[in-house]
Amino acid sequence: MKLTRMLTKKLASFWLGSLIAVAVVFLIAALLSFFHLANRMQQQQVTELQEMLLQHHHQHLTWELDDWLPPVLMSYKTVTFELTQNGRSLFQYQGNIHTPFVTEYHKAFDPEHKVVMHVTLESPYVLHRVDGVEVAIILIALSLIGLYVRYGFNWLYKQLFGVEELVARGQMVLNGEHHRALENRGNGQPRIINRALTQLLEELQDAHKERSRFDKFIRSNTFLDADTGIGNRLYLKNRIAALSNDYGMLSHGVIYLLEMEELDVLQQDAGEAAIIEYLTTCVTAIDSALKNQANSFIARREFNQFAIVIPQISLLEADSIAAKVLSICQRIPMPEGFKLDNFYHIGGAYFSVQDKPSQLIEEAEMALRAAQYQGNNSWFMYDKGSVDQEFAKGSVRWRALLEMALEKKRFVHFATPTLDFDGEILHQEIFARLREKKDSYIRATQYAPMAVKCGLMPQIDRMLINELFDKYLKHKKYQGQHYCINLSLDSVMSEQFVSWLKTTLLEHRNHVSNLIFEVNESAAFKHSEQLKPVFNIIRKMGAKISVDFVGQQVVGSQYLKELQVDFIKLHPSIIRQIHLRPENQLFVRSLIGALFKTEIQIQAEGVVSFEEWQILKVLGVTGGQGPYFQELKEL
């Protein structure tokens, strides 16, 4: 806007100055012509007077001029007149005109007798008087010139403003802000270029969406079952790997193997389409029943076998869910009216911390065989009798524990660094553990699901942010460092929490640029529309946005561009032994390609080995965190 106004004023000034210069030239030329014409006319009058005197003298042979000459001189507006012969005055006239602007003429009639006429006349340009009509014409002309100049100024301003809008859109494109450039179409000039730019941006947006669909297609064909749309055997392997490390499982939970006897025989009788529809209905019903179980998932291991994994539940809840799943399956009508009493069998294996994943699958298979030996539709739970006492607490005891921890500030902050390939720390990811005893901590993976059930996650997130500002960011020792804070879905969906966060960031505006707020992919994808205004507030305050656990679910990548995130972190299940898994490498390449020409940086979580880190470097990942870099440290 300022550039347009400045250029318009300069061009208008130049244009007006040129117009004034031309007008001055024409005015000077007109004045010169006027003066020249007036002088010529007055000289013509003097010549006519001279001829009249000569004619009179030739006719009457005398210089008697008193009868007729004074009226003539009066009509000529003569100031003085004198006719002399040999220096003797023959006739004199004195007019009643008094003006300092006069012109004198001396004409010799008869050189032999030395007759000379001396005439003094009023200057010719003084004779003209400007009347009201001429003033009106001049004012109208000046008004028209002013209106024309104003019109030209406005026209130039509009044209230049259109050019500036076009330049602004072009700068957005160069900065990679294609979405903003498409929204801000404006009235760019020339219009044909503006329309062409809009059309190209729309086609580019369609291409990005198509690339996202293609990316999802690759991921779907790699990790999804083609018939039911749920995870396949490879997906199950990756997810279990993400729930464990080299020492075993990271938390408590249960795995069920649901097997449908003689499903292949039923397919021959009912047809493939009917079986696919039946399996889809069954999987959808089970998935709906488990939607309140955090991080639970279902995958297809074999043609007639499905695996259901639910972390962070007690053994009592595991028994209840097994019975619930079996009841759901029995209520679903079979194709073509088939009804089999010995069709569904569920084997469950409850696992605790440090149990081996391979042992977990074996125990679930043993439980499945036991359920099949029982006959009829049944389930069987393999119980080793080792249930973590901490996780066996009921909801009431968990609420009391969490509320006491908040009141007495028993949450301890830990940090794990995210490094680039040069070993430089990009940021520290901050999270909290609950101190139960002196050297005993409850991990977030254990207390977070219960905190969500009790509605306490917003309070825990508040405490984490407040203590980060008060204890660390205000001290010179920590200035310049960047910190990543995980926010729960309950927090970012709470208007009260968002209002508090906005006020807090305003109070600490000098440190906000060092913060990165992070949510998981499941929340970002499912609630992208609700999260957009929240992310916009955080971004306007100066903080950055990150999405972690990317790749845990099979979804497209378009939501990442729409939310305008700054970082994404790949789920550990994608990173685990990626140097030995071409399908995971294909996924990372596809994701990087889908985010090409965006400012989104791709990082990795759960890097364990040197080989994993090197293949991530080759693939184009910009940073990573995990046991390979540094052990967890308390702040």
Q: What is the pLDDT of residues 83-116, one digit of tens each?
A: 888 878 888 888 887 777 788 888 887 666 678 8
Q: Where are the alpha helices (DSSP H) in 438-557?
A: 444-454, 457-468, 489-492, 495-507, 521-526, 528-541
Q: Given a cut of 70, is residue 306 above it in pLDDT? A: yes
Task: Read off the DSSP letter of residue 179.
Answer: H
The reply to whether 256 and 207 lie within a common domain is no
Q: Considering the domain boundaries, does residue 605 fall inside one?
A: yes
Of 71, 91, 126, the residue at which a domain comes to its end is 126
- When the pLDDT of each residue in the chain is averaged and rounded to a whole number, the result is 80
For the ranges 192-201, 409-418, 563-572, the maximum mean pLDDT occurs at 563-572
Q: Considering the domain boundaries, does residue 247 fall inside one?
A: yes
What is d(CA 586, CA 623) in angstroms, rounded to the nearest whole number? 18
Of 92, 109, 126, the residue at which a domain comes to its end is 126
530-559 burial by CB neighbour count: b if 16+ within 10 A, else e?
ebeebbeebbebebbbbbbbbbbbbbbbbb
Does residue 228 or residue 207 have the better pLDDT?
228
Q: Which amino acid is at 132?
A: G
Instruction: Decide: residue 287, CB within 10 A, 0-12 exposed, 13-18 middle, 19+ buried.
Output: middle
Binned at pLDDT 50, 70 and 90, residue 519 comes out as very high
Query: What average pLDDT does range 7-21 have in this prediction?
Result: 71
Long-range contacts of residues 617-623, Cβ cutoff 8 Å, at least 24 apart? 617/421, 619/585, 619/588, 619/589, 619/592, 620/588, 620/589, 620/592, 621/570, 621/588, 621/592, 622/420, 622/421, 622/426, 623/418, 623/419, 623/420, 623/421, 623/426
The reply to whether 339 and 307 lie within a common domain is yes
The reply to whether 475 and 338 lie within a common domain is no
The reply to whether 313 and 422 lie within a common domain is no
Binned at pLDDT 50, 70 and 90, residue 211 comes out as low
pLDDT value of residue 557: 78
What is d(CA 395, CA 401) in angstroms, rounded to the nearest whole number? 10
HSE value, Cβ hemisphere, 13 Å, CA-based, for 310:
25
Q: Given a cut of 80, is residue 478 above it in pLDDT? A: no
Q: Given a cut of 90, is residue 177 above it in pLDDT? A: no
Asked if 615 contacts 585 with a C-beta cutoff of 8 angstroms, the reply is yes
pLDDT value of residue 604: 93
What is d(CA 479, CA 467) in angstroms, rounded to the nearest whole number? 15
pLDDT value of residue 31: 76
Query: What average pLDDT does range 440-449 have in this prediction?
Result: 76
Total count of domains within the chain: 4
The reply to whether 362 and 245 lie within a common domain is yes
pLDDT value of residue 566: 92
The reply to whether 518 and 619 lie within a common domain is yes
Tokens of 360: 């977990």
The reply to whether 528 and 628 lie within a common domain is yes
Q: What is the pLDDT of residues 520-556, one digit of tens each?
A: 888 888 888 899 999 999 998 899 999 998 887 767 7
Q: What is the pLDDT of residues 249-262, one digit of tens each?
A: 877 889 999 988 87
Task: Read off the DSSP letter of residue 600.
Answer: P
**Selection from 278, 397, 294, 295 nearest residue 331 by Cα:** 278
Q: Considering the domain boundaries, does residue 401 fall inside one?
A: no
Q: Given a cut of 80, is residue 617 above it in pLDDT? A: yes
The reply to whether 300 and 339 lie within a common domain is yes
Q: Which amino acid is at 428?
A: Q
- Say which CATH number the domain at 562 has: 3.20.20.450
Query: What average pLDDT does range 214-228 have in this prediction?
Result: 67
The reply to whether 425 and 497 lie within a common domain is yes
Q: What's the N-to-C CA distance of the chain in angstroms?
A: 49
- Give the CA angle between residues 500, 503, 509 to the nearest 5°: 135
Q: Lowest mean pLDDT: which of 64-73, 131-140, 429-438?
A: 131-140
Backbone angles phi, psi at 441, to 5 degrees: -125, 145
Q: Considering the domain boundaries, does residue 143 fall inside one?
A: yes
Tokens of 179: 């979405």
Cα 504 to Cα 49, 492, 500, 545, 566, distances in angstroms:
102, 14, 6, 17, 21
The reply to whether 626 and 556 lie within a common domain is yes
Write a three-state SS string for 89-128.
Answer: EEEEEECCCCCCCEEEEEEEEECCCCEEEEEEEECHHHCC
Q: Considering the domain boundaries, does residue 432 fall inside one?
A: yes
Strands 378-382 and 411-419: unpaired
Binned at pLDDT 50, 70 and 90, residue 476 comes out as low
Task: Read off the DSSP letter of residue 382.
Answer: E
The reply to whether 250 and 313 lie within a common domain is yes
pLDDT value of residue 166: 73
The secondary element (H helix, E strand) that includes residue 238 is helix 233-242
Q: Considering the domain boundaries, does residue 327 fall inside one?
A: yes
pLDDT value of residue 393: 46
Q: What is the pLDDT of residues 315-345, one digit of tens each?
A: 778 888 888 888 888 888 887 766 667 888 8
The range of the structural domain enclosing residue 263 comes to 233-382
The reply to whether 491 and 597 lie within a common domain is yes
What is d(CA 173, CA 182) in angstroms, rounded to the nearest whole number? 9
Locate the DSSP E strands across 123-192: none
Q: Considering the domain boundaries, does residue 223 fall inside one?
A: no
Does residue 501 or residue 135 have the better pLDDT?
501
Q: Given a cut of 60, is residue 236 above it in pLDDT? A: yes
- Give the CA angle between residues 282, 283, 288 to the nearest 5°: 100
pTM metric for this prediction = 0.55
Of 180, 211, 242, the residue at which a domain comes to its end is 211
Q: Considering the domain boundaries, does residue 404 fall inside one?
A: no
Binned at pLDDT 50, 70 and 90, residue 291 comes out as confident
Cα 372 to Cα 255, 264, 342, distances in angstroms:
17, 17, 8
